[in-house]
């Protein structure tokens, strides 16, 4: 940490214009980063805290992501255990979504995106040539920021995954999967009699839980959630948070959130991203009570973001 304090004094005064387009972009988004010249984090480039954990299930090693010339994720390494909730926080544009999308190779569908480094899931490199991204995504499910049920019935939304992966032998098995998924997503009571109605006719919070049900219907090992509550009201948010508490008994959950409270409530560990760097990662209460890095501290006390 000494390098850090030194680097602050080494750096030009905060207001000095530094020709760096990366920083300008962030300033345009309203984040006062001019106080934190990039060299600071690059000099202390190594992540602070504990990137490793017991029984790692997913291991991310030295991952970089580029969108064309934009270096969106820089040398990030992180381990994720089974049955834990890890929250990714950081100012917008810092690469949380990009990082999340690396974990199930959703970046593949973005033409300009390029990923380097290694991501191991249960000992297998998910970016290996022989790895099929389609099969991978069945193991690493994803819930998006805006609820996105398909324009199909509630039933068909949940049955979609099991059908394409051939998880159910017959109609009764499919029914069972749909029911248990809805049940575990805490939605069954509300939609029991509305299974034939379009998924889009549900309320926003119900739609998001439908999307969660749809994801767990294919029985993934990890669930990625990209700001799953940002489009929801506080009550619907609370329901989803409760749900995460239950789901983490079976799944590892990686959640991107903008709400510090949410991160504090649901996660066991927190990872703080800044300009594509993983600045600090540690146990949740440690991050919130005793952050080691100045950037982390400033972010959680509301000075950036």
Partner 1 sequence: MQSTTLILMLVFMSAAAFYFGRRRSLATVGGPGHGSALHSLPGYYGYYVAIWCAIPSLLILLIWLIIEPRLVVAMVIEGLPEAYRTLSEGEINLLVNNIQNLASGDAVSVEVDAALLEAASSFNAYIDRSRDLLAVFALGIAGLGGAIAWRGIHADLRARNRVESVVRWALVAASSIAVLTTIGIVLSVLFEALRFFQKVPITEFLFGLNWSPQTAIRADQVGSSGSFGAVPLFTGTLLITGIAMFVAVPVGLMTAIYLAEYSTRRVRAIAKPLLEVLAGIPTVVYGFFAALTVAPWIRRVGESLGLQVASESALAAGVVMGIMIIPLVSSLSDDAINAVPAAMRDGALGLGSTRSETMTKVILPAALPGIVGGILLAVSRAIGETMIVVMAAGLSANLTANPLEAVTTVTVQIVTLLVGDQEFDSAKTLAAFALGLMLFVVTLGLNVLGLSVVRKYREQYE
Ligand X SMILES: Nc1ncnc2c1ncn2[C@@H]1O[C@H](COP(=O)(O)OP(=O)(O)O)[C@@H](O)[C@H]1O
Q: Which stretch binds ligand X (CB under 6 A): 94-102, 147-155, 237-245, 293-301?
A: 94-102
Place of tokens 């569908």: 109
How far apart are alpha carbons 288 and 7 in whole angstroms? 24
Min dist CB 98 to ligand X, Å, is 3
Per-position x/- string for 79-108, each x denoting binding to Mg ion as judged by CB under 5 A, each - no binding = ------------------x-----------
How far apart are alpha carbons 159 and 140 in whole angstroms? 17
Residues 46-75 close enough to bind ligand X by CB under 6 A: 67, 70, 72
Per-position x/- string for 258-277, each x denoting binding to partner 1 as judged by CB under 8 A, each - no binding = --------------------
Q: Which stretch binds partner 1 (CB under 8 A): 26-34, 66-74, 212-220, 277-285?
A: 212-220
Length in residues, the chain? 305
Per rule CB under 6 A, count of chain residues that contact ligand X: 13
The residue among 156 and 226 lying less far from Mg ion, judged by its C-beta, is: 226
Cβ–Cβ under 8 Å, residues 280 and 296: yes
Q: Which residues of 219-251 are buried (b: 16+ CB within 10 A; e: fewer)?
A: bbbbbbbbbbbebbeeebbebbbebbeebbeeb
Give the dihedral sign, CA 191/193/198/203.
Answer: negative
Q: Which stretch binds partner 1 (CB under 8 A): 15-23, 61-69, 157-165, 291-299?
A: 157-165
Q: 76 — alpha (psi -120 to 50), left (phi > 0) or beta?
A: beta
Count of C-beta atoms within a 10 Å radius of residue 1: 10
According to the binding rule CB under 8 A, does residue 256 interact with partner 1? no
- 3-state class (DSSP) for residue 30: coil
Binder of residue 228, out of ligand X, partner 1, Mg ion, none (CB less than 5 to 8 A by kind):
none
DSSP string, 91-132: STTSSHHHHHHHHTTGGGGSTTEEEEEEEEETTEETTSTT--
How far apart are alpha carbons 4 and 249 in whole angstroms? 38
According to the binding rule CB under 6 A, does residue 92 interact with ligand X? yes
Q: Which stretch binds partner 1 (CB under 8 A): 35-43, 133-141, 230-238, 249-257?
A: 133-141
The residue among 66 and 160 lying less far from ligand X, judged by its C-beta, is: 66
Min dist CB 216 to partner 1, Å, is 11
Kind of pairing, strands 56-67 and 222-226?
Answer: unpaired
Min dist CB 161 to partner 1, Å, is 5
Min dist CB 63 to ligand X, Å, is 13
Binder of residue 111, out of ligand X, Mg ion, partner 1, none (CB less than 5 to 8 A by kind):
partner 1
Residues that bind ligand X (CB under 6 A): 67, 70, 72, 90, 92-98, 110, 112
Residues that bind Mg ion (CB under 5 A): 97
């Amino acid at each position: 940490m000494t390098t850090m304090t030194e680097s602050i004094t080494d750096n030009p005064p905060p207001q000095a214009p530094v020709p760096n387009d990366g920083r300008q972009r962030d300033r345009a988004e309203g984040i006062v980063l001019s106080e934190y010249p990039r060299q600071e984090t690059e000099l202390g480039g190594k992540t602070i805290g504990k990137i490793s954990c017991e029984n790692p299930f997913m291991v991310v090693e030295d991952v970089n992501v580029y969108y064309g010339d934009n270096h969106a994720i820089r040398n990030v390494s992180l381990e994720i255990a089974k049955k834990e909730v890890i929250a990714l926080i950081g100012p917008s544009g810092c690469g949380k979504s990009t990082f999340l999308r690396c974990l199930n190779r959703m970046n593949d569908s973005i033409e300009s995106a390029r990923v380097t480094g290694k991501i191991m899931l249960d000992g297998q490199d998910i970016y290996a040539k022989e790895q099929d991204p389609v099969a991978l995504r069945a193991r690493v499910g994803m819930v998006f920021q805006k609820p996105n049920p398909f324009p199909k019935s509630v039933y068909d939304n949940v049955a979609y995954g099991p059908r394409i992966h051939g998880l159910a032998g017959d109609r009764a098995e499919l029914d069972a999967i749909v029911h248990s998924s809805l049940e575990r997503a805490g939605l069954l009571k509300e939609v029991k009699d509305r299974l034939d109605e379009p998924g889009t006719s549900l309320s926003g919070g119900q739609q998001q839980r439908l999307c969660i049900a749809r994801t767990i219907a294919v029985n993934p090992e990890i669930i990625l959630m990209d700001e799953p509550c940002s489009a929801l009201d506080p009550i619907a948010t609370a329901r989803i948070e409760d749900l995460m508490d239950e789901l983490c008994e079976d799944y590892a959950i990686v959640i991107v959130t903008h709400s510090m409270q949410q991160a504090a409530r649901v996660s066991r560990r927190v990872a703080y991203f800044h300009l594509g760097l993983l600045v600090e990662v540690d146990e949740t209460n440690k991050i919130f009570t005793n952050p080691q890095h100045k950037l982390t501290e400033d972010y959680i006390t509301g000075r950036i973001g």
